[in-house]
Each structure stands twice: as C-alpha cells, then as structure tokens.
Structure 1
Amino acid sequence: MRIYLETYGCTRNKADAEMIEALLLRANHEIVDLDSAEYAIVNTCAVKDPTEKHMVKRIKELLDSGKKVIVTGCLPHINLQAIDERVSGILGVKSLDRIIEAIEIAERGGKLVSVEGWKDRNIDKLELPRVWKSGVVFVVPISEGCLNACTYCATRFARGVLRSYRPELIVKWVKDAINRGYKEIQLSSEDTGCYGFDIGTNLAELLDEITAIEGDFRVRVGMMNPNNAIKILDEIIEVYKNEKIYKFLHLPVQSGDNEILRKMGRTYTVEEFEEIVREFRKHIDNLNLNTDIIVGFPGENEEAFQHTVELIERIKPDKINVSRFSPRPGTLAAKMRDQIVGWRVKERSRYLHRLRLAISYEINKKYVGKEILVLTHNEGKKGGIEGRTMNYKDIILPEAPVGEFMKVKVTKATSTYLLGEIIS
C-alpha cells in the first residue's frame, strides 16, 4: 500500500512515528507524499483543547479528500469520541506495533480499534525498529508515562504510569546513533526526572553510562519535573558537569503560588523549585533555564498571579513557555469551580509573554561579542544555518556546514535567538 504519515506533538511522538514508518517499510508498504497515498496515518497530539480541535479538523479534511485514515497517538486515549467514525482504524500509543494488522483489517472492510486495555500492553518500544533519518539529531525515548497525577493533565491517560526502558537498550540506541553520524542525542520522556525509579536506577546513572560512550556528541536532557529532580539533585548536577551534556535545564514550575500548585496536583513548592534552580546555577555555568507556566488555572486570583510574576522576576528564566489553562476531558481541573473567564486568561498570558521577551532579551544581549562553540543543525526557516550553543540556545549563522562543531562569534541578540559568524 502507498501510505502517508503525518505526526504532531512532542519529540516522543516523533520517535513513535519513526517506529511506525519502520514497521510499514518492513512489511513492504511504500511511504509516499499525501497526493500519492491510499492511506493517511495521523499520529496525533491532544495535550491542549486547541490542539485537539486541530487534530479533529485535520482528520476530517483527509477523509473528505478521499483518503483512508488511521489515527494513532494520544487523541484516542484522551477523547475517542471526537474522532470521525469514518476512519479505518484507531490505535493507542501502546498499540503502534499493530499498524500492519490495522491496515490488513481495513483492506478486508473491518476496523481495528486498539485503545481499551492499553495498560496491559507493556511493549518495549526500544525493541521495535526505527527508520534512520538523515540529520544531526536523534531522539531516544527513555521511558513512557510518569509518576505524577496533575489535575489538569490528559497526557497521562494516554501514556500511563511510568515504565522505564532498560538502560542497556537505551545505551545501545545511543551508540548506534553516534556510529551513524548523529551529533545530538535528545533523551525524551514525559518526565526524565523520574526515569528509573521503577527499575532501581535513575537519570544520573543513565547519563553516566551515555557520556562514557566514545565520540564527539552532545546530549539534550528533556523536561524533568521539580518533585523528581530534587530527589536526585546532587547526582544530576554532578553529571551535568560533563561536557557532553548541554547546559540546558527544562524545569516546569507551572505557577508561582503554592496553593495553585496544590490544586494542580504538583507535589512540590515554589521554594523547592527555587532551590533546584539555585543549586544548578551555583554549579553549572551559563545554565539555560527553561520553565513552563499555566495561566488562568481555576482559582488563580490576582494575588496568585502576582506570585507567579514575582517568581519569574526573581529567577529570570532564559525562556518561559506560557500556556493558557485548557480544561481537558476527564481531568479533575475541568470540573473545578472558580474557572477563570477567557478575557482575563488572555490578559495574563499576554503580560507574561511580554515579560518573558524582555527577560530573554536582557539575557541574550550578554552573549554579544563572545566566542562560543556551536553545533550546526540545519538550514534556518528564514535563511542561514541554524545551530545550538553548548547551553542549547538557538543561533543563526549566515552559512556553515551542517552537523559540525564550530567556533562562532555572537554578533547580535534577539529575544528568541542569537546571530553569529564563524571565526576563521
């Protein structure tokens, strides 16, 4: 069959898509562009309400164009009823190994729906094949699911409770990627901070094994939640000193108010979050701190919002990912009283966005004139070559070979990226 694959969402979803593609190719199906395809596989994301609406609309567009559509990813777990009944198959995130079966059933006029009972399907995805795309970056999932019970999160309905992959399998994939010429390894998970808690190890021990691999490469550690990061704080800071680890920390705080954190089901305090940031900055030079904020959570009054603003002004993150609260089906937060009116949520979001840009610009300006090491990635969307500094800041160069470590001088800064030139 001629099949088109379209994927959305996080790096984890992109890794899942490469597994689906490899399974299709192994079964002698052909991966083609949309116009040539008989089937369209949509690997969905549904973390937010606007994202879900886009997924539903896209599935309908593909069906209306005459394509047979199979839906995979998180949407089937989060809102199965939202999926157009005309689709030819529906697979949950732990059923992607059934993609060939789904096509065969569809060809016979049936419809495989493999969503229910997903908790009992403990497939080890690192034992599935992957396609090796050309490029600089390779994503390695290290676990699936998490140990948290955030009251606003629907992703846990799809990914479930933590299941860490075996360290030896992770290390094997990293070694294979390095041997194939990849220069950046992205460790992906719903929460890297709790990796290994279910199998008697932890993230720091895994990173020790990965950094011991021979080769010139860098590792980007994915998001870790504060309540888990603080449990291994000394160990993780020590391994972060290794030159193969990007000095990049994605530590979502979500709110600067302890009462709101309690209502969110976030099992840490603002003070603990700040302790982690303080210790990282004490021991890791030029740390690139990213955090996430949800504005407009039920019960967030003006005082609570101001606590968030004050926290951001104190810690001055390099980047803030600001999200407006979006009630998701089946979550406790969707049923809470004191929902915030839309216009106020937008107002707070815009305020934090302006604050974020101002802080980011002040930080980035300090890089102008400095000579730094950069790993070049790919052609930029607006021209030039995009790269990453050793603390994972985005930098644009006029021209450069891709996939190389290069000495660069920073010539200009914006709120979202740096500009530079190669030092001859």
Structure 2
Amino acid sequence: MKKEITVNSSDTKSAREKDYSRYFVAPNLKEAKKRGKEDIQVVQFDGIDEELKNLGRGKTFLMRTYGCQANEHDSETISGILGRMGYTPTEEENEADIILFNTCAIRENAEDKVFGELGRLKHLKKEKPDLVLGVCGCMSQEEAVVNRILKSYPHVDLIFGTHNIHRLPVLLKDALYSKEMVVEVWSKEGDVVENMPKVRQNGLKAWVNIMYGCDKFCTYCIVPYTRGKERSRRPEDVIAEVRDLARQGYKEITLLGQNVNAYGKDFTDIEYGFGDLMDAIRQIDIPRVRFTTSHPRDFDDHLIEVLAKKGNLVEHIHLPVQSGNSEVLKKMARKYTREQYLELVRKIKEAIPDVVLTTDIIVGFPGETEEQFKDTLSLVEEVGFDSAYTFIYSPRHGTPAAVMEDDVSAAEKKDRLQRLMDVVNRLSREKNEALRGQVVEVLVEGESKNNPDVLAGRTRTNKLVHFTGPKEYIGTFIHVKIIEPQTWTLKGEVVTKVEV
C-alpha cells in the first residue's frame, strides 16, 4: 500500500532517506537495472521554500524539450516550478538566464542533437558566465551520457534526472552559487510526487500522467532504466486532476504512461486496473479522452469492453507492434507473438468496428532476415493501420540488444524502411480517401503551421484536418466535410459548429 507523506523542494532526502553528497550524485546503470520490493510512497509537494520563491524575479528561462509526451509533460512541471520561483519564459537564447534541455534517450540521433546544442552554446556561456545551462530528462539518467558531459562539456552547470524534478529549486540555487557542476541523478526511481505546479501549453488539451516507469524490459529500450519501475498514481488523484481540468474547460486529455495498460498492477491494497480507471473517467464531463502508450501484452478484455462504450473515450488506439515476426518479437522480449497481436486486433475491431489503429515499427533489428521483414509488411497489410511511426533500429548503450550482432547492413535497413513506408503511406492514403465526402467532428486547435489563414484541428481518431474559418472557432468543436483527402492530412470545409 502506498503511504502518503509531505515534502517540499528543499528536502535533501527522499521518503526512503537517500543520502547524497552536496553537489554530485551521478547515475549508475547497475543500480538503475534493479527492481526493489520497497513500497512506493505518495508524496505531496507542499511548495517552495520562501528563500527560493523570488530567486528568479526579473529573470527568464528557456526550455528545449525533446522526445515523447512524458518529456513534454515533465517540461510543463519544470516550467511550473520555475514560474513559482519568479522566472518568466523566453524563446530568445540571448535573453535567457537559464537554458534547460529536457532530453530523450530513445534514439541516438536525439542524443546527438542535444550534444550539438550544448557545443553550440559554449560561446554564449563565455559571453554570459552567469547563464545556467542545464540538462535533465532521460539522457541525464544514462551513466555514459553524464560521463561524456563531465569530460567534454564542462560549461554545463546543472544535471538532474527524471526522478527528482521536485528538487529543482534547491538544485538551481546550488548551481547559481557554487563553483562546481551540480549533478543529482537518482539511479533508483523516486516516489509518486503529487501536487506539483504545471504550466500547460494551452487551455484546450492536457496531459495527465497516470503512472511512471516501465517493467517490460524490451531488449532495445533504455526507458526502464531511465524512468524506473512501474509506479501508478492513486485513482483518486488521477480522477481529481481530470475533474479539475474539466472544470477549467479543457476539451481533451491524454492519459500518459510508458505502459498505461499496466496501470494499477503495482497496487497491493486494491484491485483496480486501467479499464476501471477509464470507466471512471468516461463519466467525467470532458469531451475527449485519449491514452498513450499501450503495450499489447497488457491490453485486456475488460479494457476493450470499456473502450467500446465510447462516449468521451475516442475510437483511436495506438498499439505498438514493433515487428510482425514472432522470432524477432521474442528477441525483442515483447512477450507476445504475431498471432497473439492479430488476435488482440480482431477483438478490438469486433468490439469497436470503427476503431482507428496506429502503431510503431522497428526495421533492421539485429538478426532480422528478409523473410522476417516481409512478415512485418504482411502484418501491416492485414491489420490495415491508418498510420505508423517507423524507425531504423538504433542500439542504446546498456540494453541487451546493444551487444547483439548487428548483421543487417545500413543499406538494407534503409531499403526496408523505405519499403515499409511505401506500404504505410499507401494504406494511410486509402484510409483517408474513404473519408471523402464524410462529415467529421473536429476540435479546432489553432492556425495551420504553414498558413495563418487556414485553421487546423483533429478528429476523434486523431487525424489532422485543415479548413478555412473564423478565428473564433479556435477552441471549439465543429463539423467538417472532407473534400480533399491526402496521405497524412485531410482538407475540408466547415458544415456546422458543434455545441459540446
């Protein structure tokens, strides 16, 4: 059972009385791989010490976020904390008193971008020695990354991880007043910290974390080591947050977790799973509810039954498959076969006939043969995904796959990726073409990125629609008739405004 305690930002020990040195606590991969049996405690964040509340008065911060929705949501929390300290946001590097990189460790190119940015900012740090340059997020949880920063980027002032964001005020104070690089990265996950301030990006759509961490240990993935073991928020805390967002007028929420389907499996005092949570949220007056990311292994019949009730539960499911071959899936430690995945898809489609399925796929995994890759192509055709995120395998240091023989050539990987994208794009175009002439509900999110005279919004199934209309439509629901389907987007014309 989770116990509840209260901490503030200046606490120098977690609920389990961790000890650390003054300025240097580096990550340890061996420790990060451990999964202890100790209870996770619910920690209520009760604010920021008075001495730190005005630390940023008259100062600005710049946040650069890489990676998934969890990183974006962490940046909202970091921005909320900095705002409580008196800092205001800026997009101008030359004006910023703090520049923070909230980083992603999923793929090598994401890390390379951050290292490139750190190198580029070296001259700015020389010009502005009082500038605080910091790195946080998943990259910070990697032992090899921290060692590289220590060796090659000594102008970085602050490194902290994914488990101790609530400690940012005191860490920032240390970075401002010390002459050393401040590094505090907990190798073991922290507790579930509730009540932290957030600066959400708009008043329309919101992220809601329902759990943290992952225990699946896919052989290619670093996330279980950077995000820690699975820890679920208490249902009453999640539901209270969703109700508050509904009261504030938010139109859409997305429930977040590295594996939302495992929600509640760590509870010892109640039997309460993801299906139960979704059924409760279904009854809250918020128009749209999404979730990500979903692991096929934990997608149970009860959840399908609840999603089939629809209402505010949208008929879009992102269901990463990664490969269509059972042998490759076994090497990936996905813990399901091709046949089991297809059976899950059958159940979902039977219960929700108009469901839209999207997925993630990796090509060129170590040992993948041409025939095994063709199994992926045939699975994509059989399922009929509306879209897919496709990637060439990228080895991550510290994962089991990183020591496997990578015997698929770079040229072969690129060829397979292109062939896969050709199939995915064809299916996506066919699915969109089927919408020609149909009227769909669209939540208007704002102006198109490419044309301020055009508005953009998304359907319940998360398809992007462009259309012309008055700016007062932004933040509302409208009915749009699809007149020009394209591969990745839809063009339409407004039919009516919807009262929701």
Contact 2:307 2:315 in 1 (8 A): no
1:411 aligns with 2:483: yes
Contact 1:56 1:82 in 2 (8 A): no
- Counterpart residue number, 2:469: 399
- Counterpart residue number, 2:436: 368
Indicate the larger mover: 273-282 or 130-139. 130-139
Quote the offset at 1:338 in angstroms.
4.2
- Counterpart residue number, 1:80: 146
Aligned with residue 122 of structure 2, among 60, 63, 68: 63
Deviations 1:33-79 (A, max 9, x none): 32211221111112101111011111222233224311110001133
Query: Please, what is the CA RMSD of the aligned residues?
Result: 1.5
Give me the TM-score of the superposition, normalised by structure 2. Answer: 0.81
Deviations 1:180-209 (A, max 9, x none): 121010111111111111113211111111
Structure 1: gaps (5+ residues)? none
Contact 2:219 2:333 in 1 (8 A): yes
- Partner amino acid, structure 2, of 1:77: Q
- Distance in 2 between the 1:257 and 1:113 partners? 42
- Partner amino acid, structure 1, of 2:254: Q
- Counterpart residue number, 2:69: 11
- Distance in 1 between the 2:379 and 2:106 partners? 25
Aligned with residue 181 of structure 2, among 94, 108, 111: 111
User: How do 1:18-417 residues align onto structure 2 when only pairs under 5 Å count?
Assistant: 18-33=76-91, 34-66=93-125, 67-78=131-142, 79-83=145-149, 84-108=153-177, 109-119=179-189, 121-124=190-193, 126-199=194-267, 200-215=271-286, 217-229=287-299, 232-383=300-451, 384-400=454-470, 401-417=473-489
- Distance in 2 between the 1:59 and 1:195 partners? 36
Amino-acid identity (%)? 32
Contact 1:147 1:194 in 2 (8 A): no
Describe the SS at the equivalent of 2:207: strand
Contact 1:288 1:393 in 2 (8 A): no
Contact 2:212 2:228 in 1 (8 A): yes
Quote the offset at 1:24 in angstroms.
1.2
Q: Give the count of matched residue pairs.
A: 419
Describe the SS at the equivalent of 1:357: helix
Describe the SS at the equivalent of 2:115: helix
- CA 362–90 in structure 1, closer or farther in 2 if over 3 Å, else same: same
- Distance in 1 between the 2:64 and 2:253 partners? 23
Indicate the larger mover: 375-384 or 107-116. 107-116
- Distance in 1 between the 2:365 and 2:231 partners? 29
Contact 1:378 1:385 in 2 (8 A): yes
Indicate the larger mover: 324-333 or 34-43. 34-43
- Distance in 1 between the 2:272 and 2:227 partners? 21
Give me the TM-score of the superposition, normalised by structure 1. Answer: 0.95
Indicate the larger mover: 49-58 or 280-289. 280-289
- Counterpart residue number, 2:33: none
Deviations 1:154-197 (A, max 9, x none): 12211011001111111111111121121010111111111111
Structure 2: gaps (5+ residues)? 1-55, 126-130
- Distance in 2 between the 1:64 and 1:286 partners? 54
- Partner amino acid, structure 2, of 1:221: F
Quote the offset at 1:31 in angstroms.
2.6
Deviations 1:80-103 (A, max 9, x none): 223323211100101111211122
Quote the offset at 1:150 in angstroms.
0.4
- Partner amino acid, structure 2, of 1:11: Q
- CA 338–62 in structure 1, closer or farther in 2 if over 3 Å, else same: closer
- Partner amino acid, structure 1, of 2:111: E
- Counterpart residue number, 2:27: none
- Counterpart residue number, 2:39: none
- Distance in 2 between the 1:198 and 1:56 partners? 36
Describe the SS at the equivalent of 1:423: strand
- Partner amino acid, structure 2, of 1:69: L
- Distance in 1 between the 2:192 and 2:384 partners? 41
Deviations 1:88-132 (A, max 9, x none): 11001011112111221112223321114433x2142x3211124
- Distance in 1 between the 2:306 and 2:132 partners? 51
- Partner amino acid, structure 2, of 1:82: R
Contact 1:92 1:118 in 2 (8 A): no
- Distance in 2 between the 1:72 and 1:185 partners? 25
- Distance in 2 between the 1:168 and 1:352 partners? 43
Quote the offset at 1:235 in angstroms.
3.3
Contact 1:203 1:236 in 2 (8 A): no
Contact 1:88 1:111 in 2 (8 A): yes
Say which one has the larger Rg. 2
Indicate the larger mover: 22-31 or 303-312. 22-31
